Structures are given as structure tokens and as C-alpha cells.
A and B are shown apart, each in its own frame.
Chain A
């Protein structure tokens, strides 16, 4: 607060330097926030479309799976899927969005079109369900990447907004108030000094 600071020229210089840094930081953070918001809006629209698509396709695959289960029987189905064809390959990296590290994913397609069972005791519905899941996997990866990016950007935007608001509404106004207080105090001291000198001069002249 203005009452607790030292009204000296040194303090005034320090405060002015801090105000300049804070104003520059505020501008940078505001630019970062705007950049992130722009990217976030693109991603969230894409996320919404992708979610709807994935949920519809998953529901189709689940329906085919249920139908396979009713044709083959629970036990036979469990037996057919007991051993997976292998682990699906995913390559993960990261990208930089306004200094936020977000994930990037891609499938290496190692299991595309592979069925984990023989055709002797299985139904065509199971083949269709399995193949549609394999086909859907790259889209699932895109959804995972997009949702994580949205989650991370939303958290970072919220954090940046708080910092921007703190600078804009608390720190910068407080520093400006303090600078004004010190300037007024120094001017007041200057006037007191001049008055004192004039008084001394008058006393000397009166002798």
C-alpha cells in the first residue's frame, strides 16, 4: 500500500522499472491468452464433431458385437477373443501451442485388418464388429489427442486469464498509485525546502 512505502527517488526508479516490466508482461500474457483461445476454439469444434462421430461408430460396433454374441454365445465369443492379435502400435510425440506442450498421436497401422481368431467357430457379425473397431482406432486416437489438447488448453487459458487479471486489476494499478504517492511526496518535500530557503533568506535580509 502507498502508506508503507519509502518515498525516495531510489524507490521511485525501482517502481517505475517494475511497472514497465509488468506492463510488458501483461501485453505478452494477453497475446498468449488470445493465441491459445483461438487454437482452443478450433480444437473444441473439432472435438465436438469427432466425439459425435466416434460415439455413433462405437454404438454401431457394439450393436454388431451384441448380435455376434447372441449368434455365437457368450462363452464362444470370449474364447474367440481370449488371445489378442497383438498390441496395436501408437506413435506419440508432442507439439508446442503457445508454450503449452500438447500430445500428437498416430497409429503405425500394424494391426490393420488382422483378426485375432480363426473363422471356424465365429460369426460374420464378429468379423464386422472387430474390423469396424480396427478401422475406428485411428479416429479414436485423433479424439484422444484432441480431447487432451482441449483439456490442457482450457486449464492453461484459465491460469493465464487469472495472471492477466491480477496484473491488470491489482498489480499495475497499485504500482501506479505508489508512483503517484512518491512523486507527490517528493514534490511536497521540494516545496517545503524552497519555502524554508525563502524564509532563511528573509531572516538573513532582515538583519
Chain B
């Protein structure tokens, strides 16, 4: 098992990223969802292994992020922003269960 040092980044608008920035996560203020897949690819090249993305931005480019499903890194996960009500994360979990088992049993 090869262990390596990774960097963490957060992508989103200022309202979301400021909190993470205070915790030592590198902040990338982005509001245009079209720029997100390119930025993630660039960040991964620069050694960012964990990329927290604001839920609104993640939703709009979910299809482009599917290519990262086959490798363990980068880890791109949505984090709640001002528009979230908690339903999107539940939908993602339900979709994964449906994909793996065939129906949402839990």
C-alpha cells in the first residue's frame, strides 16, 4: 500500500469556501459550473487528491466527473452550500444502492 501526501481543495463561491479556507483547505472561488471539470483535472495534476465541490456546481457537472469513478484518486465529493436542503446527498446514496443492488432496500 503506497501512502502519499495529498492536498485538499474546495471549489465553490465565497460563501461556501471561506469556512474550509479557515480550516487550511486550499480555496478556489468558482461560480461558473462549466469551468469545474477542467479545474478539477488541473488540480489533480497539481497533487490535490481530495476536492470538495459545492453541491450546486457538482450537480451541474456530475456527468463529466464520472470518469474519476474507476480510480481511487481524485476524490471529488459534493459539500452543502446555501441552496442545499440535504436531499441531494440522500438521492446520491439511494442511486448508489439502486445501482449496486437493483432497488433501494435501506
Binding site for A on B (CB under 8 A): 1-8, 18-27, 49-50, 52, 69-73, 75, 77, 79-80, 84, 86, 89-90, 92-93, 96-97, 99-101, 106
Which residues from A are CB-within-8-Å of B86? 55
Q: Is the CB of A129 within 8 A of B77?
A: no
Q: Is the CB of B69 within 8 A of A152?
A: yes
Q: How far is the CA of A165 from the CA of B86 in the complex (A)?
A: 35
- Interface flags, A56-80, vs B, CB<8A=1, else 0: 0011011001000000000001100
Q: How far is the CB of B27 from chain A (nearest CB, A)?
A: 8
A130 and B23 in contact, given A40-B100, A59-B80, A81-B18 (Cβ under 8 angstroms): yes
A158 and B100 in contact, given A55-B89, A92-B49 (Cβ under 8 angstroms): yes
A133 and B1 in contact, given A51-B93, A154-B99 (Cβ under 8 angstroms): no
Tell me which of A85, A95, A129, A141 contacts B24 (CB under 8 A): A85
Q: How far is the CB of B11 from chain A (nearest CB, A)?
A: 14
A155 and B77 in contact, given A84-B21, A87-B26, A94-B1 (Cβ under 8 angstroms): no
Q: Is the CB of B96 within 8 A of A44?
A: yes
Which residues from B are CB-within-8-Å of A104? 1
